[in-house]
Structure 1
Amino acid sequence: MAAFLELRNVSKSYGTGDKKVEVLKNINLTIEEGEFIAIVGFTGSGKTTLISLISGLIEPDEGEVLLKGKKITGPGPDRGVVFQNYSLLPWLSVQGNVELAVKQVFPKMSKIDRVNHSRKFIEMVNLTPALQKNPSQLSGGMRQRVSVARALAMDPEILLMDEPLSALDALTRGSLQIEIERIWNESKKTVMLITNDVDEGILLADRVIPLTPGPNATLGEEFKIGFSRPRDKAAINADPNFKKERNAIIKYLDEVGMHRSGSKGEAYALPDLQPIIKVNKLKRINR
């Protein structure tokens, strides 16, 4: 039986001639239906290129990307993407942005069904009070919630999240991490999260897979995360296994970073991650 999502020997380059740079090389990955996978790595390692390949926005130079055994040859509604920069239409309301996506995917759906369908997912991300507000009236965290609701309302086979929380302040980011874990538990969608935050990957994912530094970046050793769901951020941070998992991933990233910088004469900076000694449980904030 074929894997739900599979990347077979995928490589991708940009440029031509002497300026050609191989960003990704020999990427092999299988994801089962309903899994939550986090890809972590250095800035510039090709994480966004990886998402673009799976979404069908670009094609690999070598290898193939398969969804349910079928080769991906272009964008499609079976893959929902949550971008880092929200990508909302500024002249449409929260409901309008979600409804527009629903109309594109389900053109035969009646107006009343489309409204109800859209509002279901707006409610899921706790934005019903902001239903008629435009993006300019929303905080960054609220805009990202709209982006998540829009992607889920398209009923995709897999949800691709390209560093969706990296532009947010720490408090809002923590709140949305909790929301994303809750939404995943409700929707049971297959999810790939791209992040440079190891703690975020451990909190949300079933597996954390590092992407080695580029160029010629490839997937490294995978780390299975065994915390039970639903997950409580405070409880996980207090669990001795959290520190063990976290240190193992950071050590691996440190080692591959040092190896690459030693061979290329370049320095790669790891995220500034500090151990959490005591964490108060975050309250849900609709911001």
Structure 2
Amino acid sequence: MLQLKNIHKYYGEGRQRSEVLHNINLDLNEGEFVAIVGYSGSGKTTLVKLLAGLITPDQGEVLYKGQRINGPSHERGMVFQNYSLLPWLSVFKNIDLGVAQVFPQWNKKQREEHVLRYIDMVNLSHATHKLPAELSGGMRQRVAVARALAMEPEVLLMDEPLSALDALTRAKLQEEILKIWNENRRTALLITNDVDEGILMADRIIPLNPGPRATLGPGFKVDLERPRIKTQLNHMPEYKRLRNDIIEYLLDTGAESKRNQKVEQERRLPDVQPILPKSAFSLAFR
């Protein structure tokens, strides 16, 4: 369904140019739920933006159903980490704007019922006509989740969509996202810092090794039976083993990355300018 082939991505210009992602190869199969886990700053958001078509790689190509991605599309719905709501539109209109583009054949009543169903799903019926400025950060994130789900995309891309939510709301939305995914098994990619969240939701977990020049680590298959209930996972030996394996891998790669950065810093020569002798200095300014 989605492919990243030999992807390299750079940021900056000249001497400040640095490689964020190095030789990334990733296949997302149709109906698969994949979680990418890793440290903050490793390039996870850059990776998901490439899949969404919001940015382009410097080398390599991104494919959707075998066709090169040249820009964003409603077929690939995106839940942003920073909400990305239009501040002059209400909760209802922020969601309805996308729904109207995806389902132009629907009449006003059909769109209204559809939008209100997703607003209710994220427990924001009381804020239907409020502007984003009138909402808390967690409420704005819920609007962003509802907007992406309401467009019923073939692929759902989520960039840490639940990180700003309180524990109870986060657990509810995890359940709702899984429920919707389970109904039609859309392809889904979740970016998260939370290993437990990845195990709860995904079929496969792939670590993104720390940058710069971040690469993908080995995939960890999640063979736990669905539906997965959070309170029961803690008592399952398979869950504990998988969780320990992933965390151990992340800790090892994090430690190795720090060692490599330290060695690289020690290799760099300081930017030192020569100091002229006093006599030469005096001659230069006569």
Superposition TM-score tier, normalisation by shorter sequence: 0.7 to 0.9
Is the Cα contact below 8 Å between 2:141 and 2:165 reproduced in 1?
no
The residue aligned with 1:265 is 262
CA-based RMSD of the aligned residues comes to 1.9
For residue 245 of structure 1, what is the amino acid of its counterpart?
Answer: L
1:216 pairs, out of 213, 217, 227, with 213
Give a deviation string over 1:164-222, Cα, whole Å, max 9, x none. Answer: 12223334333332333233223522111101111111111111100001011011011
Matched, 1:91 2:88: yes
Letter in 1 for 2:108: K
AA partner of residue 54 (structure 1):
L
Within 5 Å, give how 1:9-158 maps onto structure 2: 9-158=6-155
CA deviation map 1:74-110 (0-9, x unaligned): 1111111101122223333322111111123334432
Deviations 1:228-271 (A, max 9, x none): 112111011221211111110011111111222112218xxxxx
Q: How many residue pairs end up in the alignment?
A: 263
CA distance in 2, matches of 1:138, 1:20: 38
Measure the CA separation in 2 of the matches of 1:180 and 1:62.
33
- Does 1:244 pair with 2:248? no
Q: CA–CA distance in 1 between the matches of 2:167 and 2:24?
A: 32
Distance, in Å, in 1 between the alignment partners of 2:183 and 2:158 is: 17
Query: 1:43, 1:196 within 8 Å by CA — same for their partners in 2?
Result: yes
Per the normalisation by structure 1, the TM-score is 0.85
Where 1:178 maps in the other structure, the secondary structure is helix
Shift, 1:113, TM fit: 2.4
Q: Structure 2: which 5+ runs fail to align?
A: 264-286
Larger mean CA deviation between 140-149 and 62-71 belongs to: 140-149
Which has the larger displacement, 184-193 or 215-224?
184-193
Q: Percent identity?
A: 60
* AA partner of residue 85 (structure 1): N
- What SS does the corresponding residue of 1:181 show, helix, strand or coil? helix
Q: Using the alignment, how far apart are the partners of 2:135 and 2:226 within structure 1?
A: 31
Aligned AA for 1:98? I
Which of these two proteins has the greater Rg computed from alpha carbons?
A: 2
* Corresponding residue for residue 3 of structure 2: 6
Deviates more, 1:166-175 or 1:234-243: 166-175
Q: Which amino acid counterpart does residue 59 of structure 1 have in structure 2?
A: T
SS of the residue corresponding to residue 231 of structure 1 reads coil
Q: In the aligned structure 2, how far is the partner of 1:197 from the partner of 1:230?
A: 19
CA contact (8 A) 2:76 2:155 kept: yes
Contact 1:141–1:173, Cα closer than 8 Å, also in 2:
no
- CA deviations 1:44-96 (Å, max 9, x no partner) are 11001001111111100111111111110111111111011222233333221
State the SS of the aligned residue for 1:52. Answer: helix
Q: What amino acid sits opposite 1:69 in the alignment? A: G
